């Protein structure tokens, strides 16, 4: 991507800012009158023609002004966009929305965050829920329900709880159950679920062969967790916001997007492939691998709990997006969400 002169940068920025606000092709007179560039309309027109030839602008109709191309938006995001700090009122509004209820379950927090993100940006929000297989083992408990049955409870560091009622081969004292559970918790603590392999389970069985009957069904819960094909949830907010954008008045465009919104597995792969744990990622137009969103921009960021990445959140809107504001909102929301999720006894 070649470097641009200072006045080409100013003109490109002016076209993008104006087009973002108006959704109408931008002419040289509009740039000359609305922006302090200090150039005549004729000079601006020539520069815009150059920018079009270089691939940064497009001319949808011969008599119309120009609109930014994907390449133009990319240059703007990488080189021209100014950072936006949210006002204290905007931050307070986001906090109030996210704390609307005293929510403790992670699933409900994420669902609420999707709603907050869509309301704050007026675009469609997509948030991939935490993945069980990547969560770390925290604690297993075996709770006696009767002389012949017990409840195995598997708890992870991200708040996931899986449980299973098991048959106890013979009556166990609370101290015997306590010994078994202590051993497992010591051996498994801190491992992610996909690190609890079948070979490790077999090793633990050998260590505890004298208590094998007691443990057999408890191990079944771990083994079933490994075999399960994980259903990653994607929470959506503001799916109808796309209808408010003039670019999506075409019924076929809307139909393909709404069809995408119904495919949770595809959305989770989209978010996973678009994310970067270190920074906000902006995929513009055809930079998105999925054809259904070639006329959209997807802005993504990861959220975490105590520095462990949990999932990805994203904003989907037209390429004619208010990039600086969207990035400012998603950055703030990620930071605040991380704080909420990492706070003990939330």
Looking up residue 139, the CATH number of its domain turns out to be 3.30.390.60
What is the extent of the structural domain holding 47? 6-80
Is 94 found in the same domain as 72?
Answer: no
Last residue of a domain, one of 196, 227, 258: 227
Is 253 found in the same domain as 183?
Answer: no
Is 324 found in the same domain as 249?
Answer: yes
The answer to whether residue 324 is domain-embedded is yes
The answer to whether residue 1 is domain-embedded is no
The answer to whether residue 103 is domain-embedded is yes
Angstrom CA distances, 298 to 93, 123, 127, 139, 257, stand at 24, 10, 12, 37, 13
Is the separation of the CB atoms in 312 and 273 below 8 Å? no
Is 212 found in the same domain as 160?
Answer: yes
* pLDDT beneath 70, residues of the chain: 1-2, 62-63, 100-105, 131-137, 155-164, 166, 168-174, 176, 208-232, 306, 344-346
The answer to whether residue 105 is domain-embedded is yes
200 forms bridges with which residues in the sheet? none
Last residue of a domain, one of 206, 227, 248: 227
Q: What is the pLDDT of residue 252?
A: 78
Is 145 found in the same domain as 288?
Answer: no
**Residue 162 phi, psi dihedral angles, 5° rounding:** -120, 145
The 3-state DSSP composition of the chain as helix, strand, coil percent (nearest 5) reads 55, 20, 30
Is 316 found in the same domain as 169?
Answer: no
- When divided into structural domains, the chain yields a total of 3
Last residue of a domain, one of 227, 257, 289: 227
The answer to whether residue 305 is domain-embedded is yes
Is 330 found in the same domain as 267?
Answer: yes
Spatial distance between the Cα atoms of 75 and 282, rounded to a whole number of angstroms: 12
Q: Report the length, in residues, of the chain.
A: 346
Q: What is the pLDDT of residue 68?
A: 96
Is 113 found in the same domain as 244?
Answer: yes
Single pTM value for the model: 0.74
Reading phi first (left if > 0) and then psi (alpha if -120 to 50, else beta), residue 238 is in left
The answer to whether residue 70 is domain-embedded is yes
Q: What is the pLDDT of residue 1?
A: 47
């Amino acid at each position: 991507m070649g470097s641009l002169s200072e006045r080409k940068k100013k003109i490109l920025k002016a076209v993008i800012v104006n087009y973002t606000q108006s959704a109408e092709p931008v002419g040289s007179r509009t740039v000359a009158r609305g922006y302090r560039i200090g150039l005549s309309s004729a000079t601006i027109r020539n520069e815009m023609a150059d920018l079009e030839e270089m691939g940064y602008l497009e001319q949808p109709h011969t008599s119309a002004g120009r609109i930014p191309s994907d390449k133009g938006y990319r240059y703007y995001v990488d080189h021209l966009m100014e950072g936006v700090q949210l006002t204290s009122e905007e931050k307070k509004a986001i906090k109030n929305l996210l704390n609307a209820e005293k929510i403790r379950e992670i699933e409900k927090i994420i669902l609420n965050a999707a709603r907050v993100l869509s309301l704050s940006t007026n675009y469609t929000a997509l948030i991939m829920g935490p993945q069980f297989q990547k969560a770390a083992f925290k604690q297993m408990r075996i709770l006696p329900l009767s002389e012949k049955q017990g409840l195995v409870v598997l708890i992870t560091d991200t708040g996931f709880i899986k449980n299973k009622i098991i048959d106890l081969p013979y009556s166990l004292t609370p101290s015997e159950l306590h010994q078994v559970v202590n051993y497992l918790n010591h051996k498994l603590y801190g491992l992610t679920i996909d690190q609890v392999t079948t070979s490790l389970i077999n090793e633990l069985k050998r260590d505890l062969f004298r208590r094998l009957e007691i443990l057999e069904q408890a191990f079944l819960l771990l083994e079933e967790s490994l075999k399960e094909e994980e259903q990653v949830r994607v929470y959506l907010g503001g799916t109808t916001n796309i209808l408010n954008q003039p670019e999506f008045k075409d019924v076929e465009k809307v139909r393909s997007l709404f069809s995408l919104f119904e495919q949770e597995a595809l959305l989770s792969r989209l978010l996973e492939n678009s994310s970067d744990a270190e920074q906000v990622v902006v995929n513009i137009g055809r930079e998105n691998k999925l054809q259904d969103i070639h006329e959209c921009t997807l802005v993504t960021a990861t959220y975490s709990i105590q520095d462990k990445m949990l999932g990805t959140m994203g904003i989907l809107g037209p390429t004619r997006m208010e990039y600086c504001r969207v990035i400012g909102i998603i950055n703030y929301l990620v930071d605040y969400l991380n704080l909420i999720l990492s706070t003990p006894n939330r």
